[in-house]
């Protein structure tokens, strides 16, 4: 980095998270539970038949926590401010909100976005809905530190910033999708305090993206006017205008295209009718999907969705799915006493406003079958107090079918263990289905909040990939008691990985992995013959026992088909140490200077 660059004048980044901080008539006709001809008795009289549950309707009202605005709505700013006051510091609160803006032009707004708040346009293109103003995330609530600005999103809007620069100072679980910024985009808080993001996809920033203190960032399939600086790990795939490959100095990992991508489903208006657009899959993708007219894909009317409200049971959700309906989860908290079972090919489960699933009694929150084209997007899974063996299962154990033509996508689906209260899970996310695309997730064993402790919110494994040909684009997994990621399937690929090892290990013995000091953040199974990763980072901050030594951040079989590009490990302020980067390769981290140890290519 040039000594006069903006980030070179900043203090060295600190640790990220600081404690203290209906269905249509034609569909319904064929659904189970509808009336059928009654069997006749010998006398010719019909016997009464036992009917199943009444068919659930599709479509309907989006509920009180979805606010829909049009340019003529009075006092939009006042309503935005009211929600922000409630949500600004409600990191583990129960409020959930979706802000929807109908196509048109809005003037003089500053939409400040707090926790569990999503703001979206209702056009087919971001340019259908223009805000002359700002969509702002800052960190005043946390004294200028943005490292806990989680769980918020912006999608499908054009923004003309008042002063030429829009501020989006976020950390994990805060996606910025299908956005058009007609100016610059600043990713740091006022005062350039710490921030630890983040994710941009399918967006156009006409001006410069200004990360400043951002420790890492992943940008996918977008177009930018320039990129100002980098701290540790800035990764780009399929981004027009991305900086050239430069890792480790400057810390840019740049892929010309994204191997496979399919954008997240989104709600839009067609006339006065709500529909959900389903973007098509792209291979070797580059640039935005919406730049030249109508995006490519299909759409579904809202009448094909069961519009769920908080308080409905898992049995009701499963009945809707069995009827052939998709699920639209409106904002709020859903308590589950059995798994939500997605068994039909092409099913969409779309959450609004960080709809949150909490499994009770140790069940898994959601399971999918080994079928084509499932789309899971836009919701949070929060572990319950009774240990779940798993929280999210993509495909059953032993799934084998080829889904290359129509993969399952998991997008902006976030998992949390602890923080909002005691939670436990042995493994958070298991991916068994082949060709699954995990496009932006944050799987987090909480390091602060309620119900937090080495054994209190115990969670051994973050993400386990058993399926072959799985692709992860934007993989954030943190603080697990053992392996954060275990990749056991063949031909797996990861573009961008961000990790912190668990802060709260009480001593060296607690993390000992047989003869190895500590569990790797990202482990490729010993039997895997083909795997590849780009732009992967792991950090340690052993604040309970700073003398803990972690042998390496990454573990993989040493064979030609298993390849890594641009790896780094960092000891935050000297709290703990890595001896190596991957296997026995790479220099140790040392001292309190928070300088990464890097490996450009492995093997």
Catalytic center residues: 500
3-state secondary structure of 6: helix
Two structure tokens written together for 248: 């480790």
C-beta separation of 106 from 133 below 8 A: yes
* Rounded Cα gap, residues 470 and 49, in angstroms: 47
Distance CA 596, CA 549 (A): 16
Q: What is the distance of C-alpha 280 from the center of its chain?
A: 19
Range 296-321 burial, b when 16+ CB lie within 10 A, else e: eeeebebbbbbbbbbebebeebbbbb
Taking the C-alpha atoms of 127, 130, 134 and 139 in order, what is their torsion angle to the nearest 10 degrees? -50
DSSP 304: G
List 456's β-bridge partners, or say none.
none
Residue with tokens 């992943």: 218
Q: How far apart are the first and last CA of the chain?
A: 26
Quickly count: other Cβ atoms within 10 Å of residue 397's Cβ.
Answer: 9
Strands 117-121 and 152-155: parallel
Cβ-proximal residues to 117 (8 Å cutoff; 6+ apart), any chain: 83, 84, 87, 97, 98, 99, 152, 353, 354
């Amino acid at each position: 980095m040039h000594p006069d660059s903006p980030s070179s004048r900043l203090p060295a980044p600190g640790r990220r998270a600081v404690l203290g901080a209906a269905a249509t008539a034609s569909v319904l006709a064929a659904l189970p539970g509808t009336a059928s001809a009654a069997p006749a008795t010998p006398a010719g009289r019909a016997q009464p038949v036992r009917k199943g549950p009444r068919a659930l309707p599709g479509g309907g009202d989006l509920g009180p926590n979805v606010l829909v605005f049009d340019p003529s709505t009075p006092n939009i700013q006042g309503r935005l401010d009211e929600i922000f006051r409630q949500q600004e510091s409600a990191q583990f609160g129960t409020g959930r909100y979706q802000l929807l803006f109908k196509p048109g032009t809005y003037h003089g707004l500053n939409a400040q976005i707090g926790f569990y708040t999503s703001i979206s346009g209702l056009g087919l293109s971001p340019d259908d809905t223009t805000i002359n103003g700002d969509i702002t995330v800052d960190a005043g609530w946390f004294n200028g530190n943005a490292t806990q600005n989680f769980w918020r999103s912006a999608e499908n809007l054009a923004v003309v910033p008042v002063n030429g620069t829009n501020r989006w100072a976020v950390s994990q679980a805060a996606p910025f999708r299908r956005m058009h910024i007609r100016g610059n985009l600043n990713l740091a808080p006022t005062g350039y305090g710490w921030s630890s993001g983040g994710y941009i996809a399918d967006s156009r920033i006409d001006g410069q993206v200004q990360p400043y203190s951002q420790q890492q960032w992943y940008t996918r399939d977008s177009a930018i006017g320039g990129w100002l600086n980098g701290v540790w790990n800035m990764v780009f795939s399929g981004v027009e205008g991305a900086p050239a490959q430069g890792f480790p100095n400057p810390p840019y990992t740049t892929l010309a295209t994204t191997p496979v991508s399919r954008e997240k489903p989104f709600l839009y208006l067609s006339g006065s009718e709500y529909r959900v657009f389903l973007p098509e899959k792209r291979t070797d993708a580059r640039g935005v999907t919406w730049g030249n007219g109508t995006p490519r894909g299909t759409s579904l009317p809202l009448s094909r969705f069961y519009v769920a409200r908080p308080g409905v049971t898992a049995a009701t959700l499963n009945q809707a799915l069995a009827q052939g309906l998709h699920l639209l989860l409106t904002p709020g908290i859903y308590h589950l006493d059995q798994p939500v079972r997605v068994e039909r090919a092409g099913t969409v489960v779309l959450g609004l406003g960080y709809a949150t699933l909490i499994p009770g009694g140790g069940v898994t929150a959601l399971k999918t079958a080994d079928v084509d084209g499932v789309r899971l997007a836009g919701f949070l899974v929060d572990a319950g107090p009774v240990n779940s063996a798993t929280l999210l299962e993509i495909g059953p154990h032993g799934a084998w079918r080829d889904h290359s033509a129509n993969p399952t996508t998991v997008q902006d689906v976030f998992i949390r263990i602890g923080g909002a209260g005691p939670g436990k899970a042995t493994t958070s996310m298991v991916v068994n289905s082949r060709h699954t695309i995990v496009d932006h997730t944050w799987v987090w064993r909480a390091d602060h909040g309620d119900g937090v402790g080495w054994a209190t919110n115990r969670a051994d494994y973050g993400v386990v990939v058993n399926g072959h040909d799985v692709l992860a684009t934007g993989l954030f997994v943190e603080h697990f008691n053992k392996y954060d990621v275990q990749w056991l399937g063949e031909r797996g690929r990861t573009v961008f990985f961000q990790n912190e090892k668990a802060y709260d290990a009480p001593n060296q013995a607690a993390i000992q992995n047989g003869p190895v000091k500590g569990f790797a953040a990202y482990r490729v199974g010993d039997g895997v013959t083909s795997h590849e990763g780009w732009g992967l980072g792991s950090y340690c901050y052993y604040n309970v026992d700073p003398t803990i030594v972690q042998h390496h951040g990454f573990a993989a079989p040493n064979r030609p088909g298993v390849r890594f590009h641009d790896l780094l490990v960092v000891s935050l302020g000297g709290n703990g140490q890595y001896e190596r980067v991957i296997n026995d390769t790479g220099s140790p981290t040392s001292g309190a200077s928070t300088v990464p140890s890097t490996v450009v290519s492995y093997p």
